[in-house]
Chain A
Amino acid sequence: MSAARRPLPGWVEIGLLPLANVAMAFLLVGFIVKIIGADPLQALKLLVLGAVGSSESIGYTLYYATNFIFTGLAVAVAFHAGLFNIGGEGQAYIGGLGCGLAVLALDGILPGQLMIPAAILASAAFGAAWAAIPAWMQAWRGSHIVITTIMFNFVASALMVYMMVNVLIAPGSMTPQSRGFAASAAVPSMQAALQWVGIAVAPSALNLSLLLALLCCVGVWIFLWHTPWGYGLRTMGHNPEAALYAGTNLKRMTMLAMCLSGALAGGVAVNELLGVHHRLVLDFAAGYGFTGIAVALMGRGHPLGIVLAALLFGALQQGGAELAFEVPAITREMVVVIQGLVILFSGALVHLPRPWLQALFARKG
């Protein structure tokens, strides 16, 4: 009983506890892999090598991580304001619509130095706008944001299918995708960028959007902890009554937090559309929005933690794909199970190993 109330040292709380969670998830995964008749150690080796074994696989891991950083930050910003934004998925998707519309309209006119910033702004603005509607309904009408953001994911999905099939489809195309973007609208790949400074790496989907994601991390950190608005936002998240007392307009703050959140989710569109697909396609945001919730939870809402958690989920995504490719018994669905277990242990069961760690450190202390 006394141990249960003892706080853990900081590095255990931030470092060891998440590691223990991941380790437990992998232990369970090992059992499952064993049951379906594959060798757990071999699978682990393939997973790790698939994620970080070559410069190509590292590239893909970082490319996935870029998406997770954007959605993780999006969830975290809303979370600090006490809002559970489940709609990162839809906001990223609609962000893509904004990105695509901007590029399709302007890529013939603008040079790259203007086109790319304009497309990034359009992604952010559309993502923010998609988050603003549930935020408005929450702030002024009292509709719960969890419900509305989930529903808006479906609306976004349906809207995008309509737009792609009926409006934005390239003339004469059989698949619902837009015409290709002009080269001026392409975010340079990391391979090209590194080659420019004389470092040779294998080509991968990784592009300079990663730098934008890291920049967003710094921006979110400064905003949340070093500006009066971030201060007001966190006050509202911890204690709306105290924020009201302090003179914060809760309705406006709700709008601000959700718009920022949606804008960050829009970053996924930059990575996917400007960095990889170079055209507007269906379902490019699939799954990133939801995994962003796990990333934000595991990263404890802190940008540094979110980067680390995004790396883990990026590695799982990439390593898992390799694993499914190499071992026939392990299907893509199996990889989703692995991800799900990591989310389960580092999300819902995050406090499971706490008593043991506490007992361990209580004895030492």
Chain B
Amino acid sequence: MQELTSHAAIELRGIDKSFGSVHAVRGVSLRVERGSITGIVGENGAGKSTLMSILYGLYRADAGEIRVEGRPVEMTSPRDAIGQGIGMVHQHFMLVDSFTVLENLILGAEGGPLLAGGLAAARTELARLAHEYGLAIDPDARVADLSVGEQQRVEILKVLFRGARILILDEPSAVLTPQETDRLLQILRVLREGGVTVVLITHKLREILSVSDRVIVMRRGEVVAERVTSKTSAEELAELMVGRKVRFSFDKVPVRAGEPRLVARGLSLVDGRRVRVLDDISFEVRAGEIVGIAGVSGNGQTELLQVLSGIRRPTGGTLEVCGRKVDASHPADPAEMRDLGVAHVPEDRLRQGLVPAFLASETSILGYQDREPFCRNYLLDGPAVGKHCAELMERFDVRPRTPGLLSSSFSGGNQQKLILAREMAGHPRLLLVGQPTRGVDIGAIEFIRRELIASRDSGCAVLVVSVELEEILSLADRILVMSGGRIVGEVAAADADERTLGLMMTGARAA
């Protein structure tokens, strides 16, 4: 094929990558046009992150060619990528919290043994970038004092400061409120006008549809479709990603709330640094309803779940769980909570919900290891545990159905299904769920949400904490909004939309 006269910013040809027996990327070829915003969407494990890591020099492709601005290049490390003008903004920020914006900016590009010169040069350059792209930020502010959205702006500035003309963003909106996300998308549009090429990796179709010029859909390591954004829809993209039709909204039977299973009154928690992370929280969850807690991550939801599940004891207020009173002087540990009929799907499944180095069968009894039939005569009954795990896998469609496989070898969605299966197996009276579908692929999202609704319909009290508003809206019967450790608003799901919730989340008090 003859070279086109105008080169693409990035061109990948026949990129192939395997990890052991896993063929992560299969002969991917794609073009990213200069000065455009290209979205890459796909389920977890579709290979999009691997592909971008290859482009950024973190992995080396087994086969294939990378061309930047028409020139074939070898990427052996991120240093090469930066040299080629490619920068990456990671999902988790790589900033030093106690440094100022300016100090973070020159990290790794100090420009000499003394900092003064580099800092002065960086200050001038930062002013230019801020002016050119509208990325205003105080260069002397400490990163720790910035909001999450501002920290992300620092990350973007850092990349631009290194001279990047091609920007890769990996799930950039995962930690942002809807308003902050809108601001980010606005910044991306300005960058595009300034000639910067943007590659946006995300699973949020709304963002892709609102900002990108073209969308590339990946599935199982291959590019399965390429669309001009203006000529596609969320439904079509979702179908392409999963390979079949997907439903996002569920027809729920009207709520039939029964007796209260969880009653919190004036609950508060002061942490080791004397910060009041939970402040006067009162609410209840009744049998047969789903209560959703919305809020930007880090506003006390994590601590609330910890208190409700018995991991931390409250410092003030009372809690009534399935009839048992819990407060600072009558704490209940997680084992007691479980005995009361509380099941807990934790927010961070890799750190709490399972042990990556354990077998799936071992993970399937975490928290229930000293119960019948897993434990008999003080010994674990291996076959019984294996059988239990196999049943859970069958019922919750966990793939592969191999109880003897390490928990870490399952995809995020399948890990989550296994944890959910474990927690729902005992028919809990109260189910606490943190981020039910974080990092979970679309097919599994549908499944997990359906199961949560089924458990509500069977009379379980369900509390869902999520930073995904769309999730809260599609699941919950009532929605509580948390901000700064307080509950700042309650709305019935029928009266809620993303905008009003978003405003409450940012602290603007609503009724």
Contacts and interface: CB of A to CB of B under 8 A. Distances in A.
A242 interface: yes
B334 A226 contact: no
Contacts of B352: 239, 241-242, 244-245
Contacts of B60: 1-2
B378 A2 contact: no
A248 B356 CA distance: 18
A262 to B, nearest CB: 22
B273 interface: no
B422 to A, nearest CB: 11
Contact of A246 (B19, B334, B375): B334
A61 to B, nearest CB: 34
Given A2-B18, A5-B19, A228 B351 contact: no
Given A232-B369, A235-B366, A247-B338, A226 B382 contact: yes
A144 interface: no
Given A2-B18, A5-B19, A245 B311 contact: yes
> Quick one: which of B309, B356, B378 has the most chain A CB within 10 A?
B378
Contact of B380 (A1, A226, A247): A226
Contacts of A249: 333
Interface in B1-42: 17-20
Contact of B355 (A7, A226, A238, A247): A238
A84 B392 CA distance: 36
A235 B338 contact: no
A195 interface: no
A247 B62 contact: no
A227 interface: yes
Nearest to A232: B369
A231 interface: yes
A227 B378 CA distance: 6
Given A5-B19, A242-B366, A245-B367, A228 B311 contact: no
Given A228-B375, A238-B358, A245 B338 contact: no
B94 interface: no
A231 B362 contact: yes
Interface in B340-368: 344, 346, 348, 351-358, 362, 365-367
Nearest to A239: B355
Contact of A238 (B17, B344, B357, B369): B357
A209 to B, nearest CB: 27
A45 interface: no
Contacts of A246: 334-335, 366-367, 369
A246 B374 CA distance: 15
B428 to A, nearest CB: 14
Interface string A5-28: 111000000000000000000000
Interface in B256-294: none
Given A5-B19, A231-B369, A241 B334 contact: no
B161 interface: no
Contacts of A329: none
> Quick one: which of A225, A239, A249 has the most chain B CB within 10 A?
A239
Interface string B369-393: 1100011001110100000000000
B410 interface: no
Contacts of B338: 247
B353 A245 contact: yes
B321 to A, nearest CB: 14
Given A227-B379, A227-B380, A247 B335 contact: yes
Contact of A242 (B18, B309, B351, B374): B351
A222 interface: yes
B151 to A, nearest CB: 25
A5 B20 contact: yes
Nearest to B363: A242
Given A247-B334, A247-B367, A235 B20 contact: no
B355 A242 contact: yes
Contacts of B348: 241
B344 A245 contact: yes
Contacts of B447: none
B311 A244 contact: yes
Contacts, number: 81
A247 B338 CA distance: 8
Contacts of B336: 247
Question: What interface size band does chain A fall in?
Answer: 20 to 34
B59 interface: yes
Contacts of B344: 245
A132 B338 CA distance: 30
Contacts of A222: 379
B311 A1 contact: no
A98 B251 CA distance: 71
A249 B370 CA distance: 13
A311 to B, nearest CB: 27
A232 B362 CA distance: 11
B441 to A, nearest CB: 23
> Quick one: which of A7, A226, A242 has the most chain B CB within 10 A?
A242
A138 B505 CA distance: 40
Contacts of B59: 1
A225 B344 CA distance: 25
A232 B59 CA distance: 36
A6 B20 CA distance: 5
A2 B335 CA distance: 44
A223 to B, nearest CB: 10
B355 A245 contact: no
Interface string A223-262: 0011110011011001101101111110000000000000
A228 B367 contact: no
Contact of A245 (B334, B358, B362, B370): B334
A232 B358 CA distance: 12
Nearest to B369: A228
Given A2-B60, A231-B369, A247 B20 contact: no
Nearest to B346: A245
Contacts of A6: 19-20
Given A242-B354, A245-B352, A228 B380 contact: yes
Contacts of B380: 225-228, 231
A65 to B, nearest CB: 29
A269 B355 CA distance: 36
A34 to B, nearest CB: 40
Contacts of A5: 19-20
B332 to A, nearest CB: 10
Contacts of A238: 355-358
A220 to B, nearest CB: 14
A184 B418 CA distance: 57
B20 A7 contact: yes
A239 B334 contact: no
A225 B369 CA distance: 12
Nearest to B333: A247
A226 B356 CA distance: 19
Name the 6 nearest CB pairs between A and B, nearest first: A247-B335, A246-B367, A247-B334, A228-B370, A228-B369, A245-B352
Given A238-B358, A246-B369, 16 more contacts: A1-B59, A2-B62, A5-B20, A227-B375, A228-B370, A231-B362, A232-B369, A235-B355, A238-B355, A238-B357, A242-B353, A244-B311, A244-B352, A247-B335, A247-B367, A249-B333
Interface of B: 17-20, 59-60, 62, 309-311, 333-338, 344, 346, 348, 351-358, 362, 365-367, 369-370, 374-375, 378-380, 382
11 contacts: A7-B20, A227-B375, A228-B378, A231-B365, A234-B355, A235-B355, A242-B354, A245-B367, A246-B334, A247-B334, A248-B335
